[in-house]
Chain A
Amino acid sequence: MIDFIGKRVWFAGLSSILVIASALLLTVGPGLNEGIDFTGGTSTTLQINDENVGTDDVRSIFAEAGFSDALIQSTGDGSFFIRTEVQNEAAQNEILAALNRAYPDQTASDIRPEVTTVGKSVADDTVSNSIQAVVVASIFIILFLFWAFRAVTAAYRYGLAAVIALAHDVVLTLGLFVILGEVIGAEVNASFIVGTLTVIGYSVNDTIVVFDRIRENVRLGTGRSFRAVVNQSLNESIMRSLGTSFTTAVVIVAMLLFGGETLRDFLLVLLAGVVIGTYSSVFIAAQVLVFWEERGFLGRRRPVEAT
């Protein structure tokens, strides 16, 4: 039997460092690479069939149409991803006109401009609604766990411990995305929200399975310490946790390798979430329960001798 509880200091330390690092990445810098779903604006993808075309050419075209601060990214083979403030119809037409003047021999079907626009008000709504959705979902999950574990003493601890694990997972996933944003330009967009929400669902699901095992073993009431019961439960459920994470990760990796580009960022969130979620169920959620049982929520109680 592996002694998960005994090594909890290591995991608590590791998680604390990661959470603090993520928090710093998110708040101090560089922050999430927010897409237009969050900031509002227009994104355009272009395909210009001209081997000599560079970002500067595209920049001058957009500057000509009045978007001198456009963010321009070359995605190779003459295709470009451009982000600007919200373009109205007239502005879009001016860009097309400028493109047409610059590349008169290429029709719209060659250039394939693909435009996505999100207004500022919509973007603001998206952000506030996403945060609310996360908070509301968390509250409901606490309430449900409180109810589901009502037969166990101090049932509220299970709900709060699950939410602590959940917050841990979300913060780490966001932190990871700051890094991904810097390295591969991964953008936080509407599908990222969906991904984060999925991580929440997954994290809670995983935690519940572990807690369920603890609940079952506590009910058996063998007279052992809570710590020993939890450790036994973790050992019993570890194969299942790994098995499930492995199979889900297999599907996600397959999608990453063979699926389209469109879902890439979303799948990365999911993959990170699955790994972090599994880790946190075993090393965070269950440990919080033990710590709470032995030392009180804020650690005021004196430690109990381990068996």
Chain B
Amino acid sequence: MRRPRRGLVLLAILFALSVAVLAVPRVEINTPIWGLDRGDEENILGLSLGLDLKGGSHLVYKATKEDGSAADAEDLEGVRKILEKRVSSFGLAEPTIQLLGNPADRVLVQLPGLSGATIAVDFDGNTVFAEELEAFLQSAAVGHPETKVSIDENQLIARMDELRPALRATDGSVITESEADVIRRAVEDNFPVTAVISFAAIDPETGEIPLAAEPADDSENAGTSDDEVLATPVPQPAATPSADGSDGGDPTPVQTDEPAPVLADDDTPVDVGPVTIVPEITIEQIQGALVGIGLTNALVETVNDTAGEVIDNFWSIELIGVRAQEFGENGDSIPTLAEEAREALDALSPLGVFVTSGTIELWAVGGGVQEAKHLIGQTAQLDFRERKCGTLTPPTIGDAWPPDGLSGEEWRTVRCVDETYWNPPYGGGEQDIDIQGSDLTDAFAGTQPGVVGPVVNISFNDHGSDEFCDVTGRISRATNQDVLAIYLDGEELVAPSASTAICNGSAYIFGNFTAERARTVSIQLRSGSLPVNLELIQERNVDATLGSDSLRKSVIAGIIGLGLVLVFMVMYYKIPGFVAALALILYAVVLLALFKLMPVTLTLSGVAALILSIGLAVDANILIAERTKEELRMGRALLASITTGFDRAWPSIRDGNISTIITCIVLFWFGDRLGTSLIQGFALTLGIGVVVSMLTAFFASRVIMRSIAGTSLGRRIDSFVPVGSIGVDRAIGSGE
């Protein structure tokens, strides 16, 4: 009896290993030649679950090009890259974007956990505790009692149920604003934001402190203008850009005037030195001006210098509940009370006024199928912009240059690349030029004689060619060595410079491109030049709670079902039934461990396949038990009967399972063509289940049966035949 014992040890090891794999939420193995990292801490037993079990959205888009032609594989590759960026900017965990069909003509976007909304909030300046925000969002004022708020770095993350999306008319205009926007206002009202106005009354004529002499509102949008004014930009304090992530609008930092010429430190008020005040301003005057525009609760305070002395005629004004800036639906700045206050103060005297903000710095809404679909369905736009990089020479003679203690070399590296430096006050910002995506006729990767490495060739139509000629002429002549920045979908693709005007309509971009990068850039340029329209042809949304509910119920039902089967097996088939029960448990554990290690994503149809495979695993054991019974009935000894029973049962187990495996292969193949994970998940799960069940039923059962037959139980022949079986001669011994 040595073999069964060794077999038992092997089975025990297999069982223990499988249990260990399932017990550890995450399995990580690292060896120099082979590594493994499996398991998802969030799911039951660390199994990988499909969207129908954990909730999420399954969106299939059909891609057609704007001119009506079918999109080819490269177009779809471009689409995928665009979608990946959009979806990840949406703040979703692990989206999968997959091309379907052979050849590919559809895009599958799977967004897990979309049925709830996630809002990331960063309260700049004002500290709001997670508990406070949670309590507020749960309160009747907002009406989301399910909200959970956690802290992630500096942001508060609020997880809530689905929020009502903005309702848009067919032309894209907003009928009703989104619930997220409504909540945002409620949050802002409840956790008052504060606009801080630093106000220095200074005489501009003494020249001691250069000030913006123009009316304040002229300099407001300097961030996007390219006027000659920018030749002498005024350094600004680190204004906090108030980004509105939910709108996707480009945050335009408010360009403000700074009362001091040299910035010692961005954050602290500066010593403005001796000043002459014309005319004299009093606190009452300031308050009067503010009350005049309806701000009665303004907090006006004097400001101390670094030595603790009060700076004359320098005030800090806090406007509680007033935002420094606001953005409209299209991302444009809209006038705020803070602006009015600033103008009112400016009217008192030619003054240095700057506004910073304690507003919500970040408000990014993730989740929400409707919002996600809106984002995905947009057509990608190619933007050409002329970028005036950070100046090579100091804007004002005598300024320390390059700024921020950068070396000359570092400055040349960052001045066209770093957004901070090509924007004012260091550079001239960007200007849209009149080249549209449709003006670009082609883009492809290639090589050029005399150029090392791959290049991206581009060509334009007549209109694009003229504009391209103009812009390359401008940037090549400019002493500042500017660049032409090309954006796709708001994301910078490439920003080449030019050394001469290019007027023949075609050009190439070279640089440190790898072949892969050159290919990617040209695909992306092309996808922007002839945008691919995405039509939603299939959509499935599973509520996360519904998904986990299905899973929980299925697991409970599965355990009940399996339990009943085991009870039946033991009651009816006695010892062979008990062995079958052990084999079934082993089967279930090994199968789940395999699913986790491979990994197989378990879907609802996979659960169904699992049930069926349990049925087939039981079937194998029943066949064996019945065959063994027959052998015993014919008068064989127990051990011989067991051996023959297994051998006789084997052909039917084998043939039956092979036919099931054939069906699985056919289904898997068709599932691939159907592009639905439903059938494939079923086929894969069932296929693996059948193979494992064959092994456990046959080998595990045999080892356990033989071991039991070798013990004193082996003398009780009647325990080896089913209830009510007749014709088994009890007189027959059990010995070998």
Contacts and interface: CB of A to CB of B under 8 A. Distances in A.
Given A205-B656, A250-B568, A137 B663 contact: yes
A270 interface: yes
A27 interface: no
Contact of A100 (B163, B176, B607): B176
Contact of A108 (B179, B561, B655, B657): B179
A148 interface: yes
Given A194-B608, A260-B550, A260-B554, A122 B615 contact: no
B540 A116 contact: yes
Contacts of A140: 662-663, 666
Contact of B618 (A92, A100, A194, A248): A248
Contacts of B540: 116
Nearest to A209: B652
Interface stretch (A49-57, A237-245, A289-297): A237-245
Given A114-B543, A116-B541, A251-B562, A263 B536 contact: no
If over half of B's interface residues share one DSSP class (helix, strand or loop), that class is named, otherwise mixed; here it is: helix
A109 B618 CA distance: 44
B686 A254 contact: no
Interface in B164-186: 164-165, 167-170, 175-176, 179
B129 interface: no
B84 to A, nearest CB: 21
A107 B143 contact: yes
Contacts of B648: 216
A257 B561 CA distance: 10
Nearest to B674: A129
A213 to B, nearest CB: 7
Contacts of B538: 117-119, 122
B582 to A, nearest CB: 16
B670 to A, nearest CB: 4
A197 B659 contact: no
B60 interface: yes
A201 B163 contact: no
B553 interface: yes
A64 interface: no
Interface in B407-437: none
B656 A247 contact: no
Interface in A190-214: 190-191, 193-195, 197-198, 200-202, 204-206, 208-209, 212-213
Contacts of A307: none
A255 B561 contact: yes
Interface string B568-586: 1100100000000000000
Contacts of B666: 133, 136-137, 140
A255 B618 CA distance: 17
A11 B618 CA distance: 28
Contact of B658 (A97, A112, A144): A144
B486 to A, nearest CB: 29
A115 B622 contact: no
Contacts of B546: 262
A141 B662 contact: yes
Contacts of B664: 201
Contacts of A130: 670
B370 A258 contact: no
Interface string A110-152: 0010111111011001100110110011001100110010000
Contacts of A248: 611-612, 614-615, 618-619
A236 B629 CA distance: 11
B560 interface: yes
B163 A254 contact: no
B655 A97 contact: no
A240 B626 CA distance: 7
Among A208, A251, A267, residue most surrounded by chain B Cβ atoms (within 10 Å): A251
Contact of B539 (A94, A116, A253, A259): A116
A108 to B, nearest CB: 4
Given A193-B679, A198-B612, A132 B670 contact: yes
B351 interface: no
Given A121-B537, A208-B652, A194 B605 contact: yes
B614 A191 contact: no
Contacts of B659: 141, 144-145, 201, 204-205, 208
B179 A243 contact: no
A167 to B, nearest CB: 15
A252 interface: yes
Interface string A251-294: 11111011110110011001000100000000000000000000
A137 to B, nearest CB: 4
A89 B374 CA distance: 8
A270 B604 CA distance: 14
Nearest to B537: A119
B305 interface: no
B92 to A, nearest CB: 18
B660 interface: yes
B244 interface: no
A130 B686 CA distance: 18
B565 interface: yes
B553 A258 contact: yes
Nearest to A251: B561
Contacts of A117: 536-539
A262 B373 contact: no
B312 interface: no
A68 interface: no
Contacts of A194: 605, 608, 678-679, 682
Contacts of A246: 568
B564 A190 contact: no
A267 B557 CA distance: 12
B676 interface: yes
B373 A250 contact: no
Contacts of A88: 536
A212 B561 contact: no
Contacts of A132: 670
B162 to A, nearest CB: 5
A184 interface: no
B398 interface: no
Contacts of B27: none
Contact of A201 (B550, B651, B663, B670): B663
B365 to A, nearest CB: 13
B340 interface: no
Given A93-B168, A116-B539, A133-B670, A247 B565 contact: yes
A148 B655 contact: yes
A96 interface: yes
A97 B660 CA distance: 50
19 contacts: A93-B168, A97-B176, A109-B163, A122-B537, A129-B674, A141-B662, A190-B678, A191-B605, A193-B679, A194-B605, A194-B679, A198-B686, A201-B663, A208-B655, A212-B656, A237-B626, A255-B557, A262-B546, A267-B608
Given A109-B163, A118-B538, A137-B662, 4 more contacts: A109-B160, A133-B666, A201-B612, A205-B619
Interface of B: 52, 60, 62, 143-144, 146, 160-165, 167-170, 175-176, 179, 369-370, 373-374, 377, 535-543, 546, 549-550, 553-554, 556-558, 560-562, 564-565, 568-569, 572, 604-605, 607-609, 611-612, 614-616, 618-619, 622-623, 626, 630, 648, 651-652, 655-660, 662-664, 666-667, 670, 673-674, 676, 678-679, 682, 686, 722
For the complex of A and B, 3 pairs with smallest distance between CB atoms: A119-B537, A248-B615, A254-B561
Interface of A: 42, 88-90, 92-94, 96-97, 100, 107-109, 112, 114-119, 121-122, 125-126, 129-130, 132-133, 136-137, 140-141, 144-145, 148, 190-191, 193-195, 197-198, 200-202, 204-206, 208-209, 212-213, 215-216, 236-237, 239-240, 243-244, 246-248, 250-255, 257-260, 262-263, 266-267, 270, 274
